[in-house]
Structures are given as structure tokens and as C-alpha cells.
Structure 1
Amino acid sequence: MLKAKFITGLDIGSENIKILVVEERKGDSEPEVLKYFRFPSEGIRKGTIINVEQASNSLRSALEEFQNSFEQKINSAIVNISGSHIFSTPSRGVIAVSRADQKISPEDIDRVLQAAQTFSLPSNKEVLDTIVKEFIIDGEKGIKEPLGMKGIRLEAEILALCGFSPYIKNLTDTVLNAGLQIQDIFVSPLASSRAVLTPRQKELGVVLLDIGAGTTSLAVFEEGDLIQASIFPIGSGHITNDIAIGLRCDIDTAERIKLEYGSCFLHSGKKKEKIKNIHKEEPLVFSLKMLGKIIEARISEIFDLTNKELKKIARQGKLPAGVVLTGGGAKLPKIGEMAKKELKLSCKIGYPKGIAGLEQDPSFALVAGLVLSGLDSEQEQPVFGEKFTTKIKKIFKIFIP
């Protein structure tokens, strides 16, 4: 039996279920990989669970197969939530400082955060996560730790990450039905950014794009704060579908073509390739130029959606640390060059950091981020008294007027 304390990340994706178990280390040592596992998923479309029974069965099968080669039983996991129903909304709370000497107390901070949390949402929406962006004292912005400072008026700005309640319940039901307890839930783009982005990138201003099979997650940071998050219902799996339609082949052959010949680079001339057609005797002959056009069209759509999100917050082409691409879709050849052209930003491919022994593969970013985010939560210490932490307690109910 393993005596070391370990933590489990569970990425429930449109094509695969990924499980990552790491061993916690004392001090500043990085956690170390104990086991990584990937298993096909069912009942999930565009990041959202549409069939709880199918999703539960596939997760249960994944766990059973995983446990066959891992001696310690997994009872709980840190889970991601994805889908285009996820959205972010800013909110602000305002209070008068209570003490006669105008010194801000832990109670004042608790009150202003409660005020910031008090906003209306439709009854079928709820908050998944809430990030404190800054405090404002008598109009002075950019304050991170107001405890002990003096002022008359205290404000708090937060960013709430929200989702559609039935979809959230589908996720929790799926995990619980498979026999797992949920240790924590993190919104996908926030988890991916934890594993991939550096503090300097977040401080300068950066957009992360995690291109998965069924969705693309976006997170924008500036001055260290998350300022925008969203999830597009388009991913690299849609490229496979487009190839199957455009080249008139089956989906398995289309996936092989994407992996072996796919590129965002448009080939000139009439060069053709030949590949064995899985379900037919004759090989499939296709044009590399045609393949490039199919891939470019779908990737261009993802970047168009990204530009629209950046335009909403007046950051289009204005992020000094550029764009960081991660997820399985980031492995597509020449995608970085296309991102530079379409987004007018510098571009890097993001690999997960902070876990010893983890393969340097962009497709591991989300599950690695779940584990690291879970470790952060465990180590998070109260800053302004027992009730307050930098990140407000998750999945609280909003006051409905």
C-alpha cells in the first residue's frame, strides 16, 4: 500500500476521460506523477454531459481499468466543468468602514465580499467560482490586501464564473454515480491556466486558448487577475468531422489524416497523398491543399471567436504576453504561425509545468491544472481572518430578488 498522500485530477472531456494521480511532496518540492490514464468517454458533447447514464458508465469503466494497475483506491477527485454554458460576470460590493478610527477590519472585508456576491441571476444559473480582483479604498484602486489600511468607503471587485444549473447537476451526478466523491470543481480555462501560464505572463497580459476535442477554453489575465473567461463549442474534433465530410471518408480515417498530415499551412500546387481507407479496399487519395483549406477554415473560426471575446474587453491585439495555445489542438503543425497572423499577438505553445515526471504534452494541461489547483486550495491560508481566502468559497447560492 502507498503511504504517501496523493491527489487525483479528473478531466471529463468530449472524447476522453483523463485521470492523473500525483504524490504530494513536502516543502517546495514539486508533486510527482504516480499514474496517468486515458479512456474513451461517452455521453458528452461539446464539453457538456448530455447523457448521465452513458457518461457514468464510461467513467465507471475508466476507474475500474485504472484501479487494476494502481494499488491505492481512489475515493475522491478534483473535477473540471466545461461547456459553452460557462460565462463570467463582474460584480462590485460597497460598504462603509465600521470602526471609528477608520481602520479596515476582517469583518469589513467579509461584509464587502458578501455585498459583492449579492447580485441576481436567473434561477437556472449558479456561481461555480468567484475570484477577488481588487479592493478600492476611498476611490484608490488596485489594492490587494486592505486589512489594517484606513478609509471611509471600502469596495471589492470580483469576477464570478457561472454556469447552467442542470448541466452542473449532470456533472456531479455522473461522478457520484461512478462511485467517486468530488473534492473540488474548477472551471476548465482556470485550471488549464494554472498549469501553463507563468505569473509574469499573467501580470503583463495574456490570453490562454486550450483547444480540446469538443471545446476551446479561453482565459484572459492582466495585472495578475483573470479578467475574462469563456468556452467555445468548437474543438479539434470538429476538424476531424470536417475532414470526413470534405474528403468523403470515414471518421477513423479522417482522424488518422489529421494526425499524420494535418497542418495549418496551405500547400501550394497539386501534391497528393495516399492513405489506407480502414473500411474500404482501395486507398484514399487526397490533396494536401484541400486538407489545409479544411483545417484552416475551422481554426480560423476559433480565432475569430477569440478576437470577438478580446474586443469585448478592449484587448484585441493588445496583450503584451500574447496568446498561449495548449490542449491537444495546439499540437497541430503551424497553428502558432496562424495564431500570430489572425490574432495579431505573439504566440507560444503552452506545456504543463509544476509536476515532476509529467510528459511535456499540451493535451495534459487541463488535468495537470486540476491537480495543481487542488493543491493550491489545500495550502491556501486565511488572509483576513478565518472566513476569508483570496478565492471565495465556491458554489455558493446567489440571492435571487
Structure 2
Amino acid sequence: MDNSGLYVGLDIGTTSIKVIVAEKVKGQLNVIGVGNEPSNGLSRGVIVDIDQAAEAIRGAVNQAQEKASIEIKDVIVGAPANMLRIEPCNGLITIDDQSREITAEDVRNVASSAMGTSLPQEREVVDIQPEEFIVDGFDGIKDPRGMVGVRLEMRGKLITGSKGIMHNLQKAVEKAGLNIQSMILTPLAEAHQMLNDGEQDFGTIIIDLGGGQTTATVFHDHQLKFATTDSEGGEYITKDISIVLNSSMSNAEKIKRDYGYADSFQASSDNEFPVEVVGQSEPTYVDEKYLAEIIEARLSQIFDRLKDQLEQVSALDLPGGIVLTGGVAALPGIADLAADQFNANVRVYIPDQMGLRHPSFSSVLSLVSYYSDLSDIQLTTRSAVGATMTKAPKVVEQSAQPTSKPAKQSKPKRPKNKKKRGEGIKNFFSDFFD
């Protein structure tokens, strides 16, 4: 059975691959199938082994199509924000010698004209976003089709990404036996799903705390203005726990999920839990506050680097504050930690759909929601993506480069209780990260 009329989202993350099948009934999305498979072949948000990634994609798709009782062929794929660049673009075409009605083909042609810039060999167009059309000098037009004119212009934003990253992503999906219905930039989809009209208008930051990396994006005037990625995420927290507590990665992940706090102020030194230590037959007992110190230290490092990037573009002055999402955002106390470090209002986004009430499902749900709500003129314009480029774009946004050193494989002394935030973290950094 073809999944025509249904929407299938595919989110390829570093630690897990998620698929959802949804149908839209009277403007409401209903999720009818979900797949969730551990990732293979990915590192820091990008595919490094196409065969392994394709196998993991197939596993997640098989789960979703079994639950939805359909055969999945077409998928809406999320494109990561790695090495993202944004630039203004303008297009202009002459309709005809004499006035006639503007058609969808004219819109595609003017979008192609706007993309008629030569890209370096290593870059590829991910999306083009029209801001306005101009017909014979009359501006502010959202949809020019059906209007009469001789001259059609388009102003908008051109978003480009790494050709290598995009190629590997497409190849893995195709090798999994799937057709890419649309490639959607994940941050755009997340903003559509998570931010209300005022937040998109006045300006808001979304921080997606994934397993392999952390992405911060800034939206203002309903447009993506800035994007930066940090190459550390939840996996680094798990590795820290594993090294410090001398426990396996699988045990460390379970400990993080079951007992972890992002904010050490909210953890108790009286609550202890058993830890299976490598080379010991009996478990060691560790308190929640000590675990929280480990988690808080790594998160603080990530937040500090993002803060530097966001301050450079004055994003922290925007009234919408910060919205946290991604699997790491499920840690208790993370909103308080982020609010303290960024000195901003912070909230955590959690999907409200049954079976998806965890921030790790935010991205895949956003892909389906965004695509299903695209207007006809947006779909028409996006259909021009893929045309041959001939001019290099000016770079206006770049990804942040991580500056943290890899953690040493030695156990630090247990930090003393803190009188203020940062004191214990500072001691922990001096023992563990330097």
C-alpha cells in the first residue's frame, strides 16, 4: 500500500533514528505509527557509514510501518544544521513581452533565478524561503499566481549546507529503499512546531540537545537568522559518567536516565543508587548529587560555548528567551541550569501527542507538522531547489567549533557541597576536563 495522503517523518540522529507516520484529519495531525531504532554509522550528527545508517533506518521504518499497517515508500527527511549558511537572495524574470497571468512555472523560474548563484563544489542548496514577490514594481505580494504582469521578482533567503553531508544523508535513505519526498531543514521545522507567532516574530532561541551534538538556532521576524552547532551532546555526558564511575556505557546511560539531574541544586546527597563497577563483584553506591555534578559540568561547558556564539549576534537580548528540546532536555532541572547560565527565560518543549511525550521526539514530529502545513506557494517555490547554481553565496552564519578538551579517563575527588552554583563545577573541571 502506498502511503499517499499520509506523512512519514524520518529523523536521523546520532544516537537514535526515529520515524513517525501521521495523517491529517480536519487540520489535526494524528500519529498512527512510530519507529525508534538505535543509530549506527553516525558521528556528531552526520552519517559516516552509509551502509550501517541505511540498516538502522530500515529497522526504524519497519517498526513504524508495522504499527501503522502500511508500506512506507516516501519519507520527509530532516537535514541537520551542521555547516549551515544563510544568505539573502533575489530573482528576476520577464514573464512575456505582453502582460499575462503568472503561473506556477513562472514562480519556479523566478525561484531558480534567485538560486542562480554559483556555489563552491562543497556546498549544496538545502532550502529557499521566499519573503515577498514583486510584480511590475508592486511589492509585498505573498502569492503572485493569477496576477497579470510583465516582470516578476522574488526576494528571500537561500540556505545551503555541506554537499558531503547532504549526499551521505540522501544515499543512506535511498539505500534503505526509500524515496525522499522532501528534505526539510530540522531547525525550520522545530520553530514551526515549538514557537508561537509572537515568539517567531519578536525573536526566540531554540537549543536542541541531541545525543551527538547540540544545535542553537535563532528565529526573528518569522525567519531563521542564525545557526550554530556544538559537537558535544548527551553521549559526552554518558561517557563522563562511565569514566568517573568506572561503569560500562550501557550502565552509565541507564544511570543518567534513571537518576540524573542537570541542576545539582535539585539533587540530594541523601539519595543513593547502586553502580556496577568494572572489575568489582559488588556494586558501589553513589549519591544523586555527585552524579548531578558530573552531568552539570559537561552541560555547563556546552552552554558556555553556545552563550559565546549567541552573544556575538545579540540573540540573548531577544524577548522570546530560550526553548530547550532534544533527548537531553528530559533531564530534571535543565531549564533552571540553562536559565542561570544564559540569564534568560527558558522552557522545555515536550510533544503532547500520545506515545511521543518526550523531547527526543520533537524533531521527527516537527518535520511532519512543518511539511503538512506548507502552503501551495511554498511547495511551488521549494520545487525549484536542486537547480544548477553558478555563483558563490556570501556566508552570513557559520557553525561554532567546539573548544572543549576530551575528558581524561581518571576519577576525580568527590566535590564538596556548593554554596553557590559554579563552585563545585569549577573544582570538577579542574580535576576532570583539563
TM-based fold match above 0.5: yes
> 1:1-400 alignment to 2 at 5 Å?
5-25=5-25, 27-28=26-27, 30-82=28-80, 84-85=82-83, 87-93=84-90, 113-114=111-112, 116-133=114-131, 143=140, 145=142, 157-267=155-265, 271=270, 273-277=272-276, 280-315=280-315, 317-352=316-351, 357=354, 359-377=356-374, 380-382=375-377, 389=381, 393-400=384-391
State whether residues 116 and 388 of structure 2, in contact with CA within 8 Å, keep that contact through their aligned partners in structure 1. no
**Residue identity matched to 2:21:** V
State whether residues 79 and 185 of structure 1, in contact with CA within 8 Å, keep that contact through their aligned partners in structure 2. yes
Cα distance in 1 for residues equivalent to 2:321 and 2:290: 30
Cα distance in 1 for residues equivalent to 2:58 and 2:255: 31
State whether residues 130 and 392 of structure 1, in contact with CA within 8 Å, keep that contact through their aligned partners in structure 2. no
1:328 Cα deviation after fit: 1.1
Cα distance in 1 for residues equivalent to 2:153 and 2:341: 38
Change (3 A) 1:83 1:98: closer
Aligned with 2:373: secondary structure? helix
1:241 Cα deviation after fit: 1.0
State whether residues 273 and 288 of structure 2, in contact with CA within 8 Å, keep that contact through their aligned partners in structure 1. no
1:174 Cα deviation after fit: 0.9
Alpha-carbon RMSD across the aligned residues, in angstroms, is 3.7
Aligned pair count reads: 388
1:184 Cα deviation after fit: 0.8
Change (3 A) 1:275 1:221: same
Cα distance in 1 for residues equivalent to 2:7 and 2:89: 34
Cα distance in 2 for residues equivalent to 1:244 and 1:139: 63
Cα distance in 1 for residues equivalent to 2:54 and 2:152: 46
Cα distance in 2 for residues equivalent to 1:344 and 1:287: 29
TM-score (norm 2): 0.77
Cα distance in 2 for residues equivalent to 1:246 and 1:84: 30
Cα distance in 1 for residues equivalent to 2:4 and 2:368: 16
Aligned with 2:236: secondary structure? helix
Change (3 A) 1:357 1:264: closer
Change (3 A) 1:9 1:278: farther
Cα distance in 2 for residues equivalent to 1:250 and 1:7: 39
Cα distance in 2 for residues equivalent to 1:171 and 1:350: 26
**Residue identity matched to 1:263:** Y
Cα distance in 2 for residues equivalent to 1:359 and 1:58: 20
State whether residues 134 and 156 of structure 1, in contact with CA within 8 Å, keep that contact through their aligned partners in structure 2. yes
Change (3 A) 1:138 1:254: farther
| Structure 1 stretches lacking a partner, 5+ long | none
1:273 Cα deviation after fit: 2.3
Deviates more, 1:3-12 or 1:217-226: 3-12
State whether residues 97 and 108 of structure 1, in contact with CA within 8 Å, keep that contact through their aligned partners in structure 2. no
Cα distance in 2 for residues equivalent to 1:176 and 1:145: 34
1:38 Cα deviation after fit: 0.9
